[in-house]
C-alpha cells in the first residue's frame, strides 16, 4: 500500500498528517501529489469526498516559504462553505510549518479580512467575488503568488463566476503553477484549462473508485398529512449519531425545523436565506458533533463534508437521480456504515423507480429495525447541465432568459433570483446558471415556466427601488 511518505512529502507535513489522523493517501492524492510536487500543472477530475483538498493542499503547504511575508498561494472556491472547509484543512496541514492561511469570503466584514491580509497570509483561500473585491481595493496583491488552485471549477461555471475567475488569473504571474479540480469537464472548463494551464497532467479518479460502499438504502411510502409523524418515527427508531434531512425548498426547511424542534428534538436548519452568522453557527455545531440533526436544502449543504454523518433522510424526493447519489454520498464515508431513507408519496413512485434504475440498486421498504446488505452505488459525476433539477418536475428542457441589467446597475444573482421567486412562486433552486455581465444578465428556467416568468417579472422593480426589470427569452 502506498503511504504519504512514498509520495515525497517532508517530515513536517508527515507529522501534520499524523496529527490529523491521515494514514494512507486516497487515489486522487496518490496520483495528484507527485506531479504537483515536481512543479507541473495538474487537472484533477474528482468529486467532493475524494480527498482532493489534501491532493492540492499538501503540495501547496510544501511549496510555501513561511519566511516570505507575501501571498504565495491562492485557492479560489465557488462557495463560502467550501472556502471555510478548505481553510480549516490547510491550517491543519500547515500548523507545524508555521504557514498562515487567511480565508476571505462575502457575508463577513471586509475590513477584518483586510486587516488579516495586512498582518500576513502566505495562502489566501477565497470566494471569487470577495477575492476580486479585495484586489480592486489593493488589499490583496498577487504579484508573488506562484501557486493557484481552482477548486470545483464546474460549480464556478454554474454560478456564473468564470469571467471573474479569468480576470483574477490574468493578475497572477505567468510563471505560476496552477491546479484545476472539477467533478465534470464541460467545454468552458476545458477552454479555461487550455488557456491558463501549461502542459497539464490529467489526474482522473475512475468512477469505480467513487462509490458509496457501505450505504443501506430504504424507501418509505407516506402521505403529505402523515409525513411529519413518519419522520419523527424514523428518527426515534434509527437514533442517528448525526443525520441530514434533505428538503426541497427554503420555506419547507424552516417549517420542518420548527416542527421537529417543537417535538423536543435537537435540530437546526440550514438554507441560503439565513444570515451568514447563523449559517456559520449551524455549520460549526454540526461539524463539531454537538448537533445531531440538520434540516437542509441541497444548495446549503454543498460544503458539508463530514465523516460522522450516519443517516441521510430524503424528506422530499430528490429532484433527479444525480442529486440522490450526491445526497447519499454524505453518509457511509471513510469506511463507515450509513443509512439512506427516502420518503415518497404514491404519486412519486415513478421518481423513486427512476432513481433505482439510475443507481442499479433497489431500495428496501423501511420498517423499524430494517436491515439490508450494504449496497454498492456508483457515485456518477453530476451532469453539468443539471446541477439542480426543477422543482416543477420538468423533463430537463430549459429556456435561457436575458435581463436588461447587470453588475454596473448594482444587481447581484440573489437580486435576480429573489425577484423571480417573489413574482412567480418558483423555487429558487429551479433558477440556474445565473450569469451577471456589466449591463445584461442571463439565467435558465424550466421551459414550462419561462412564459410565466417573463409575464410576471417584466416591468417589476427590485427590492422596492425604481429600477424596473426587463426580461425576455434569448432569441435564436
Dist CA 246 CA 231 (whole Å):
12
Give the H/E segment covering residue 80. helix 80-94
Q: Are residues 308 and 456 in the same domain?
A: no
* Domains held by the chain: number: 3
Q: Which of 136-140, 220-224, 237-241, 347-351 has the lowest mean pLDDT?
A: 347-351
Q: Are residues 279 and 161 in the same domain?
A: no
Q: Are residues 149 and 41 in the same domain?
A: yes
* Per-residue cell: 275: 444570515
Positive or negative torsion for Cα 319, 184, 49, 270: negative
- Kindly state whether residue 386 falls inside one of the protein's structural domains: no
Q: Are residues 161 and 245 in the same domain?
A: no
Confidence of residue 211 (pLDDT cuts 50, 70, 90): very low
Q: Which of 181-190, 241-250, 302-311, 312-321 has the lowest mean pLDDT?
A: 302-311
Q: What is the mean pLDDT of the chain?
A: 82
- Kindly state whether residue 390 falls inside one of the protein's structural domains: no
- Kindly state whether residue 282 falls inside one of the protein's structural domains: yes
pLDDT at 307: 66
Closest Cα to residue 164, out of 106, 108, 86?
A: 106
Q: Are 45 and 185 in contact (CB under 8 A)?
A: yes
Q: Which of 66-80, 196-210, 309-323 has the lowest mean pLDDT?
A: 196-210
Q: Are residues 219 and 360 in the same domain?
A: yes
Q: Which of 77-81, 285-289, 334-338, 370-374 has the lowest mean pLDDT?
A: 370-374
- Kindly state whether residue 20 falls inside one of the protein's structural domains: yes
Tell me what percent of the residues of the chain surpass a pLDDT of 70. 86
DSSP state of 461: B
The answer, yes or no, to whether residue 305 has pLDDT greater than 70, is no
Q: What is the pLDDT of residues 77-90, one digit of tens each?
A: 988 888 988 998 89
- Kindly state whether residue 356 falls inside one of the protein's structural domains: yes
Q: Are residues 201 and 224 in the same domain?
A: no
Question: What's the domain range around 440?
Answer: 398-473
- Kindly state whether residue 389 falls inside one of the protein's structural domains: no
Confidence of residue 347 (pLDDT cuts 50, 70, 90): confident
The answer, yes or no, to whether residue 301 has pLDDT greater than 70, is no
Q: Are residues 374 and 239 in the same domain?
A: yes
Confidence of residue 289 (pLDDT cuts 50, 70, 90): confident
Q: What is the pLDDT of residues 107-131, one digit of tens each?
A: 888 999 999 999 889 999 999 999 9
Determine the average pLDDT of the residues in 156-168.
Answer: 89
Longest dimension (CA), the chain: 65
Helix ranges restricted to H, 121-226: 128-136, 153-158, 162-170, 187-196
Q: Are residues 407 and 342 in the same domain?
A: no
pLDDT at 391: 29
Q: Are 73 and 148 in contact (CB under 8 A)?
A: yes
Q: Are residues 367 and 239 in the same domain?
A: yes
Domain with 321 in it: what CATH number? 3.40.50.300
- Kindly state whether residue 239 falls inside one of the protein's structural domains: yes
The answer, yes or no, to whether residue 145 has pLDDT greater than 50, is yes
Contacts from 169-176 at CB under 8 Å and sequence distance 24+? 169/196, 171/135, 171/142, 172/74, 172/142, 172/145, 172/148, 173/142, 173/143, 173/144, 173/145, 173/146, 175/146, 176/145, 176/146, 176/147, 176/148
pLDDT at 288: 79
Q: Are residues 292 and 324 in the same domain?
A: yes
Q: Are residues 131 and 266 in the same domain?
A: no
Determine the average pLDDT of the residues in 352-369.
Answer: 82
Q: Are residues 201 and 231 in the same domain?
A: no
- Kindly state whether residue 180 falls inside one of the protein's structural domains: yes
Amino acid at each position: 500500500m502506498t503511504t504519504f511518505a512514498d509520495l515525497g512529502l517532508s517530515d513536517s507535513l508527515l507529522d501534520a498528517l499524523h496529527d490529523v489522523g491521515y494514514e494512507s493517501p486516497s487515489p486522487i492524492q496518490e496520483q495528484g501529489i507527485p506531479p504537483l510536487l515536481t512543479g507541473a500543472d495538474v487537472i484533477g477530475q474528482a468529486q467532493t469526498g475524494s480527498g482532493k483538498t489534501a491532493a492540492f493542499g499538501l503540495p501547496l503547504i510544501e511549496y510555501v516559504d513561511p519566511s516570505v511575508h507575501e501571498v504565495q498561494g491562492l485557492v479560489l472556491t465557488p462557495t463560502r462553505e467550501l472556502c471555510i472547509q478548505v481553510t480549516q484543512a490547510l491550517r491543519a496541514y500547515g500548523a507545524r510549518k508555521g504557514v498562515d492561511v487567511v480565508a476571505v469570503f462575502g457575508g463577513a466584514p471586509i475590513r477584518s479580512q483586510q486587516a488579516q491580509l495586512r498582518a500576513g497570509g502566505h495562502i489566501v483561500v477565497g470566494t471569487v467575488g470577495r477575492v476580486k473585491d479585495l484586489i480592486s481595493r489593493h488589499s490583496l496583491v498577487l504579484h508573488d503568488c506562484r501557486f493557484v488552485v481552482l477548486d470545483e471549477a464546474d460549480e464556478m461555471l454554474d454560478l456564473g463566476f468564470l469571467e471573474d475567475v479569468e480576470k483574477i488569473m490574468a493578475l497572477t504571474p505567468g510563471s505560476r503553477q496552477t491546479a484545476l479540480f472539477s467533478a465534470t469537464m464541460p467545454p468552458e472548463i476545458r477552454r479555461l484549462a487550455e488557456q491558463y494551464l501549461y502542459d497539464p497532467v490529467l489526474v482522473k479518479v475512475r468512477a469505480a473508485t467513487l462509490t458509496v460502499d457501505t450505504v443501506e438504502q430504504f424507501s418509505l411510502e407516506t402521505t403529505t398529512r402523515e409525513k411529519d409523524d413518519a419522520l419523527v418515527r424514523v428518527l426515534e427508531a434509527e437514533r442517528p449519531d448525526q443525520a441530514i434531512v434533505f428538503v426541497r425548498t427554503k420555506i419547507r426547511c424552516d417549517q420542518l425545523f420548527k416542527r421537529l424542534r417543537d417535538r423536543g428534538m435537537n435540530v437546526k436548519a440550514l438554507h441560503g436565506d439565513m444570515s451568514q452568522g447563523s449559517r456559520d453557527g449551524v455549520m460549526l455545531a454540526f461539524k463539531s458533533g454537538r448537533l445531531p440533526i440538520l434540516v437542509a436544502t441541497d444548495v446549503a449543504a454543498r460544503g458539508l463534508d463530514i465523516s460522522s454523518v450516519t443517516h441521510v433522510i430524503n424528506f422530499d424526493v430528490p429532484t433527479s437521480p444525480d442529486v440522490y447519489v450526491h445526497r447519499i454520498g454524505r453518509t457511509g464515508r471513510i469506511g463507515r456504515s450509513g443509512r439512506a431513507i427516502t420518503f415518497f408519496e404514491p404519486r412519486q413512485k415513478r421518481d423513486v423507480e427512476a432513481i433505482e434504475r439510475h443507481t442499479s440498486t433497489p431500495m428496501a421498504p423501511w420498517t423499524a429495525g430494517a436491515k439490508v446488505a450494504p449496497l454498492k452505488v456508483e457515485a456518477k459525476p453530476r451532469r453539468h447541465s443539471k446541477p439542480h433539477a426543477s422543482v416543477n418536475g420538468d423533463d430537463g428542457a430549459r429556456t435561457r432568459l436575458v435581463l436588461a441589467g447587470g453588475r454596473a446597475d448594482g444587481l447581484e444573482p440573489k437580486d435576480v433570483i429573489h425577484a423571480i421567486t417573489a413574482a412567480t412562486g418558483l423555487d429558487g433552486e429551479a433558477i440556474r446558471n445565473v450569469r451577471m455581465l456589466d449591463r445584461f444578465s442571463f439565467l435558465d428556467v424550466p421551459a414550462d415556466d419561462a412564459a410565466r416568468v417573463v409575464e410576471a417579472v417584466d416591468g417589476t422593480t427590485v427590492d422596492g427601488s425604481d429600477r424596473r426589470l426587463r426580461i425576455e427569452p434569448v432569441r435564436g
